[in-house]
Amino acid sequence: MADLMIVVGARPQFIKAAPVMKEISSRNIDLTVVHSGQHYDPEMSAVFFRELQIPKPSVNLRTGSGSHAKQTATIMQRLEGSILAHSPKIVVVAGDTNTTLAAAIAAAKLNVPVAHIEAGLRSHDLSMPEEINRRLTDHCSVLLFAPTKTAIYNLRNEGLQLRTYLTGDTMVDSLRMVMPALRSREAGLLKHFELQAREYVLVTLHRPSNVDDLDRLREIHNALKHVAKRLRVLFLVHPRTRGRLRRIKGLAHNREFTLAPPQGYIENLALMKNASCILTDSGGMQKESFILHVPCITLRANTEWPETLQGGANRLINRPGRISREILRVAVNEDLRTRITSLKHPFGDGRASSRIVRLLESSLQHLK
């Protein structure tokens, strides 16, 4: 019988769960790690296990891609057997992916308590799969580890105030954990891409709302080509986006507008830290850019991290036609950079993992 089972399966979950697993390994707690296989590309999976020193999974469900319904159902079906075989006292999930929701439902159906790392986030946009996943996961969970005061407010507003804890954000723990390696690699990384610090824009996009509509993706591409006349553009192309971009006629790829594969966690942070600004639709990168004091433009109508909007550190736009104007305005604004640097981030002190594991230990004692 295992004390804890942690279920991960996608890039954001590896980052959020890694420091928790590291903290667990320093204590006398039996841990089973399950990889759902939601992200199976080496660029999106194996590199994170290596860089974040995540224990090798005891189980890999090898789920692969598919529709949201198919992927979630497959994980639930395959995970059920692992839960029954390992008999964990608590199943721990992180974030808001299909893996998160599937594991929470599978465990709850088997009457195994669920603990949710990064509970309480809300974009209030039910067209986002992540919003559905995080809401349902919170309501399946008996231990809710909230990263911010806003998240606590959201949970209490939904009647989930019992067993809700303000722990801080484990992504701060991860960032601090890799900072020495980041500093040692950044110069070589900039040299590799022939970049100068603060003289390029870093781009990552993966949400269906931005990359599945070819007309919208073409607009984004054209806006970035315009930016590249003034500033270098480095576009880290998510596997989801790669095939769609190939369908665009006149696709730019040159020194000014560079397309590159996704980078490892440390490399990605180093490129973020040295960028003049970031264009993304990722929740995690909004938060990381805020902590790193780099201006961010988010190509979405909403955010689950409203804390990042303070002081203009993160700006929401949802029209591709505004991209080039916003980037060129933000990237050269030294006053904005100075103001962002003075902002105190609300995501905790880098000890969230320790708090979470202490709470899990206490819960395990009560379950004996």
Nearest to 204 by CA among 117, 128, 134, 282: 282
Mutual angle of helices 265-274 and 283-291, in 10-degree steps: 60
Neighbours of 85 (CB within 10 A): 12
Place of tokens 């050269």: 332
Say whether 238 is catalytic: no
- List the beta bridge partners of residue 299: 317
Based on its alpha-carbon atoms, the radius of gyration of the chain, rounded to whole angstroms, reads 20
Nearest to 105 by CA among 36, 208, 46: 36
Residue pair 143/359 in contact (Cβ under 8 Å)? The answer is yes
Nearest to 112 by CA among 78, 143, 136: 143
Q: Give the chain's length.
A: 368
HSE-CB for 39 with a 13 A CA cutoff: 22
List Cβ<8 Å contacts ≥24 apart for 66-69.
68/98, 68/129
Beta strands 90-94 and 4-8 are: parallel
Candidate list 86, 139, 206, 226, residue with the active-site label: 206
Cβ neighbors of 14 (< 8 A, separation 6 or more) are: 8, 45, 48, 49, 52, 54, 265
What are the structure tokens assigned to 68, written together?
């949201």
Neighbours of 229 (CB within 10 A): 11
Neighbours of 319 (CB within 10 A): 12
Active-site residue list:
206
